[in-house]
Amino acid sequence: MTQKIKELQIELINSSPNTIKGMWFAARNCYEREGLKKLELTYTPEKAIDLLKNVYKLSHLSIFEQSFYQFNINGLSRSCLAQMTRHRIGWSYAVQSQHFQKHDDFSYKSLEQYYSDQQEMNYFQLMEDINKFYKDALAHGIPRYIAREVLPNSTSVNMIVSTNLRALDNFWKLRSGKENTPEIRKVSRKFYNLVIEKDKGLEEIIRYPC
């Protein structure tokens, strides 16, 4: 039996060149009569972080839309994809297509929990049976966009996701808690770790909810 389990992988592939400075410009601009050039002379990262902390406390959150992060996500389950795409405002998604791409020998996510070793083996067998069913359908002329209907919720997808800090903040508030599935909580935590690793000082402004 071939097991094609795929682990979740997320990387930050693109982002604003200087997120903190960009948001600081946006915030200062709200109260500044002079132009951008003069403003720039007064910039320091420390002052920017202090200002942005206040802006965040005041819920002047549109400032945090002035940022950009693009993630490459591999090995996400289709069920988690459905949860992710409920986040509509400030999010852009480009998802690997089951309609156009052939999904024979598809990879999938292992379940978070099994009640026995036998049940785990049964799960792998079930995936193998679905794979056979899918291949047989294609071999008999069923189009990919119809055969795909048999693919399980645990099928892995790859996708590119772009977003900003305001949308991420809302995502972290909603998706970090224990009431969520382990998979989307992993996505949430990984997004946070990648963002604060790239933009030093951001963790002082937006703290991870739990």
Ligand X SMILES: Cc1cc2nc3c(=O)[nH]c(=O)nc-3n(C[C@H](O)[C@H](O)[C@H](O)COP(=O)(O)OP(=O)(O)OC[C@H]3O[C@@H](n4cnc5c(N)ncnc54)[C@H](O)[C@@H]3O)c2cc1C
Q: 30-69 mask for ligand X (x: CB under 6 A)?
A: ----------------------------------------
Structure tokens at 107: 């990879």
Q: How many residues bind ligand X (CB under 6 A)?
A: 10
Three-class SS string for 135-166? HHHHHCCCCHHHHHHHCCCCEEEEEEEEECHH
Q: Does 179 bind ligand X (CB under 6 A)?
A: yes
For ligand X, the binding residues in 138-167 under the rule CB under 6 A are 167
Three-class SS string for the chain? CCCCECCCEEEEEEECCCHHHHHHHHHHHCCCCCCHHHHHHCCCHHHHHHHHHHHHHCCCHHHHHCCCEEEEEEEEEHHHHHHHCCCCCCCEEEECCCCCCCCCCCCECCCCCCCCHHHHHHHHHHHHHHHHHHHHHHHCCCCHHHHHHHCCCCEEEEEEEEECHHHHHHHHHHHCCCCCCHHHHHHHHHHHHHHHHHCCCHHHHCCCCC
- Residue 82 CB, shortest distance to ligand X, in Å, is 9
Whichever of 50 and 65 has its CB closer to ligand X, that residue is 65
Structure tokens at 5: 């389990």
Whichever of 155 and 163 has its CB closer to ligand X, that residue is 163
- C-alpha 82: how far from chain center: 12
Identify the residue among 33, 37, 57, 88 touching ligand X (CB under 6 A): 88
- Residue 182 CB, shortest distance to ligand X, in Å, is 13
For ligand X, the binding residues in 109-128 under the rule CB under 6 A are none
Q: Does 89 bind ligand X (CB under 6 A)?
A: yes
Identify the residue among 162, 170, 176, 193 touching ligand X (CB under 6 A): 170
- Residue 66 CB, shortest distance to ligand X, in Å, is 17
Stretch that binds ligand X, among 24-32, 82-90, 148-156, 196-204 (CB under 6 A): 82-90
Stretch that binds ligand X, among 13-21, 84-92, 130-138, 190-198 (CB under 6 A): 84-92
Q: Does 174 bind ligand X (CB under 6 A)?
A: yes
For ligand X, the binding residues (CB under 6 A) are 86-89, 167, 170, 174-175, 179-180
